[in-house]
């Protein structure tokens, strides 16, 4: 379907850019019922919202004319939540309104404020900026909104989440009441609808998707992994897909710094995006992704909001998002403008329930699997080598001469092996990962007598696969600790051991028996290392796994004393003195019972 009739200048700009068919949101804003009205639009990320509101406000800014008049006070204001999104919108509007003679100015934090002041003083038609910087220019009298005809709030839900409500209200109150207000957002929660009712007049509602509908061009995959192997899983996922562009999302700046440094160390061409970077550093990072010098971007949610990168075919959730809306926003960085993309959620065994809840609320179809193994990655490398464009390019005379010289001095097998080594040397090495839940046998629960014999007969570590290891230390040499994960969290000794070692700064030799229960795991630490271990786990502050000293032995319930057949691990058994045992209920009911019997003098 071709674009509906619009301004001739904008039609030329669209044709020059190769825009032949509009996206659903672009077609909707150009319908007759939307012309000249306030708009409340919800559309999925990557659906062309920037061009959509650029086309929507054309009738207000240009009317029937093909060119704008001399630049004076701004006619349109676009407010975006982040610097990157504002600069991206600025670039889009420059080419869209270029044939109409528009001058577009940007006002974002981190840029030279004097340059922005000069641009506003020289006059412009459209201003694009972030809420904080726009309010600063307004308060200092540099920005005159008296002639404003249209205001656009882009990604309004994110601006409210970031705490920009007061700034937005200040800016909107400074604009003329007869302006058009266009509100574009990927989602329309209650606070956005409330804001729209206050500042819009009989807004025309446009929904191009069902609320929080997942992207149809994105393949969702959930990768299960041990909590201590999430970083290795990122490496293997990046190596397995080998996407030209990938984005990895973390919760905090510290996590971004650590993961970015780890990927650089392994040989990935990676950049980072977080709020602590200067605008120049952020711009350089994005430019390196656009021109192919970098292939991986590690970012926080806020820093990556609204970024549109070419050939971004892979999104990885290093940290699970806090809600399903964030899941869809993150995933929407790929699968844009009709291109296919892949979204990978890394799910530690301890966070599987949270992942399943997010998936259900988002309404997406997810394929569960283990992390790609090193063998699978090497197989993909061989397939990619055979399909490398180097074999399909036409050989020149110099190439043929070099090939003949090589064949004269080396065998074909040696030359092929050298090519394979050269190809492999450019790629980071995959990590060895254990998928503890790939082939798990049904758990056979032991009866009470077997458990008692196992406890008294020696300390043994039993994994569900059947392997066992005996520990010849006595109970006096060990201290029990408990961990807040169990069978409900897919606990398994194969990944519990590395976690215990990492959090407690101990080695495998200092760990004794491991007992896995439904909701917790109890394990032993050598007494000489117990105090050091306890101090280390207190400082670890792991949000998924909590470790603390165990108050009771694994075979003893909290609500009853130890049984006579079990020897207490700390001190003599309870009620060892026969005369000190409490009377039974039956004895209390017999005639002549007078309470506890006193010891004979």
Angle among Cα 237, 332, 51 to the nearest 5 degrees reads 140
Q: Do residues 26 and 2 touch, judged by C-beta distance below 8 A?
A: no
Angstrom distances, CA of residue 283 to CA of 94, 119, 301:
18, 20, 17
Helix, strand or coil for residue 6? coil
∠ CA 184-190-194, rounded to 5°: 75
Angle at 441 between CA 436 and CA 445, to 5 degrees: 110
Q: Report the candidate in 88, 91, 93, 140 with the shortest Cα–Cα distance to residue 114.
A: 140
In the chain, count H helices and then E strands: 22, 20
Cα dihedral angle (29, 32, 35, 40), rounded to 10 degrees? -40
Q: Would you say 271 and 300 are in contact if contact means Cβ atoms under 8 Å apart?
A: no
CA distances from 48 to 209, 311, 524 (A): 14, 16, 58
The length of the chain is 601
The enclosing H or E element of 513 equals strand 511-516
pLDDT of residue 334: 83
- CA 484 to the chain's CA centroid: 24
| Cα–Cα distance for residue pair 519/549, rounded to 1 Å | 16
The DSSP result for 10-76, as a single string, is HHHHHHHTT--S--HHHHHHTSGGGTTS-EEEE--TTS-HHHHHHHHTHHHHTTT-SS--S--S-SE
Q: Is 191 in contact with 160 (CB distance < 8 Å)? A: yes
450, 455, 458, 460 alpha-carbon torsion, rounded to 10°: 80
Q: Are 58 and 7 in contact (CB under 8 A)?
A: yes
Burial 18-33 (b: 16+ CB within 10 A, else e): ebeebbbbbbbbbeee
Paired with 405 in beta bridges are: none
Residues in contact with 447: Cβ distance below 8 Å, sequence separation at least 6, in sequence order: none
Strand partners, 104: 126
- Alpha-carbon torsion 84, 86, 87, 93, what sign? positive
CA end-to-end distance (rounded Å), the chain: 107
Q: Residues 6 or more apart from 329 whose CB is under 8 A from it?
A: 45, 158, 186, 301, 305
Ramachandran bin of 314, using left for φ above 0, alpha for ψ from -120 to 50, beta for the remaining angles = beta
Separation CA 74–CA 90 (nearest Å)? 14
Per-state percent for the chain, helix, strand, coil, to nearest 5:
40, 15, 40
Q: Distance (Å, rounded) from C-alpha 306 to C-alpha 296?
A: 17
What integer pLDDT is reported at residue 103 of this predicted model?
93
Residue intervals of the chain classified under CATH 3.40.50.300 are 8-207, 218-373
CA dihedral in degrees (496, 499, 501, 503; nearest 10)? Answer: -140
Residue limits of CATH 3.30.70.330 in the chain = 448-549
Class of domain 448-549: alpha beta
- Residue 150: which of 48, 27, 68 has the closest Cα? 68
Among the listed residues 299, 33, 306, 343, the one whose alpha carbon sits nearest the alpha carbon of residue 186: 306
Please report the pLDDT score of residue 304 as a whole number: 63
Distance CA 389, CA 373 (A): 26
Where would I find the H helices in 465-567?
493-504, 527-540
Q: 3-state DSSP call for residue 180? A: strand
Q: In the prediction, which pLDDT does 502 show?
A: 81
Q: Name the DSSP class of 248.
A: E
Q: How far apart are CA 114 and CA 135, in angstroms?
A: 15
pLDDT of residue 368: 92
> Residue 352: how many CB atoms within 10 A of its CB?
17
Q: CATH for 8-207, among 3.40.50.11900, 3.40.50.300, 3.40.1190.20, 3.90.245.10?
A: 3.40.50.300
Question: What's the CATH number for 218-373?
Answer: 3.40.50.300
pLDDT along the chain (601 residues), means of 10: 79 87 86 89 78 91 88 92 86 92 90 90 93 91 92 83 83 91 81 85 80 66 89 94 91 91 92 82 84 89 68 90 84 75 91 90 90 91 84 83 89 88 86 62 50 49 40 66 85 83 85 88 89 85 79 53 41 48 52 47 37
Asked whether 484 and 546 are in contact (CB, 8 A), the reply is: yes
Q: Rounded to whole angstroms, how far apart are CA atoms 38 and 201?
A: 6
107, 137 contact by CB (below 8 A): yes
């Amino acid at each position: 379907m071709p674009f509906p009739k619009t301004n001739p200048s904008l039609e030329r700009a669209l044709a020059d850019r190769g825009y032949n068919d509009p996206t659903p949101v672009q077609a909707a804003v150009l319908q007759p019922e939307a012309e000249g009205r306030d708009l409340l639009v919800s559309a999925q990320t990557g659906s062309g919202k920037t061009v959509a509101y650029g086309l929507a406000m054309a009738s207000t800014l240009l009317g029937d004319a093909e060119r704008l008049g001399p630049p004076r006070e701004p006619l349109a204001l676009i407010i975006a939540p982040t610097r990157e999104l504002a600069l991206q919108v600025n670039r889009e509007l420059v080419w869209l309104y270029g044939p109409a003679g528009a001058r577009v100015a940007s006002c974002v934090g981190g840029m030279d404020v004097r340059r922005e002041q000069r641009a506003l003083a020289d006059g412009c038609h459209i201003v694009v900026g972030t809420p904080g910087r726009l309010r600063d220019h307004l308060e200092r009298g540099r920005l005159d909104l008296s002639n404003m005809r249209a205001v656009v709030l882009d990604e309004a839900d994110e601006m409210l989440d970031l705490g920009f409500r007061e700034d937005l209200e200040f800016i909107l109150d400074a604009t003329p009441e007869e302006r058009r207000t266009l509100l574009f957002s990927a989602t329309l929660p209650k606070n956005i609808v409330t804001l729209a009712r206050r500042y819009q007049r009989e807004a025309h509602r446009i929904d191009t998707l069902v609320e929080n509908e997942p992207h149809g061009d994105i393949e969702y995959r959930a990768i299960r992994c041990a909590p201590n192997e999430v970083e290795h899983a990122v490496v293997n996922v990046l190596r397995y897909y080998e996407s030209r562009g990938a984005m990895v999302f973390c919760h905090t700046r510290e996590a971004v710094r650590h993961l970015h440094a780890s990927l650089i160390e392994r040989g990935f061409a990676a950049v980072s995006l977080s709020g602590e970077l200067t605008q120049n550093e952020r711009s350089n990072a994005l430019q390196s992704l656009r021109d192919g010098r970098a292939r991986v971007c590690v970012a926080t949610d806020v820093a990556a909001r609204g970024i549109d990168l070419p050939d971004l075919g892979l999104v990885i959730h290093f940290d699970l998002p806090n809600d399903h809306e964030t899941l869809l926003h993150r995933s929407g960085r790929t699968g844009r403008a009709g291109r296919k993309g892949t979204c990978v959620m890394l799910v530690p065994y301890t966070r599987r329930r949270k992942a399943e809840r997010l998936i259900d609320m988002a309404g997406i179809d997810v394929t569960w699997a283990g992390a790609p193994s090193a063998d699978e990655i090497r197989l993909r490398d061989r397939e990619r080598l055979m399909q490398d464009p180097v074999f399909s390019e036409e050989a020149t005379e110099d190439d043929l001469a070099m090939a003949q010289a090589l064949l004269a001095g080396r065998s074909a097998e040696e030359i092929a092996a050298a090519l394979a080594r050269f190809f492999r040397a450019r790629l980071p090495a995959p990590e060895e990962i254990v998928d503890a839940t790939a082939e798990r046998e049904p758990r056979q629960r032991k009866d009470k007598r077997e458990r008692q014999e196992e406890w008294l007969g020696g300390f043994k570590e039993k994994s569900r696969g059947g392997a066992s290891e005996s520990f010849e230390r006595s109970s006096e040499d060990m201290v029990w600790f408990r961990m807040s994960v169990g069978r409900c969290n897919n606990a398994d000794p194969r990944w519990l051991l590395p976690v215990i070692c990492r959090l407690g700064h101990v080695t495998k030799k200092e760990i004794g028996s491991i007992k896995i229960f439904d909701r917790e795991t109890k394990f032993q630490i050598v007494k000489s290392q117990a105090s050091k271990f306890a101090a280390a786990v207190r400082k670890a502050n792991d949000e998924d796994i909590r470790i603390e000293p165990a108050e009771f032995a694994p075979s003893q319930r909290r609500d009853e004393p130890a049984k006579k057949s079990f020897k207490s691990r700390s001190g003599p058994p309870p009620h060892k003195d026969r005369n000190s045992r409490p009377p039974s209920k039956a004895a209390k009911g017999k005639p002549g019972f007078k309470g506890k019997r006193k010891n004979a003098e």
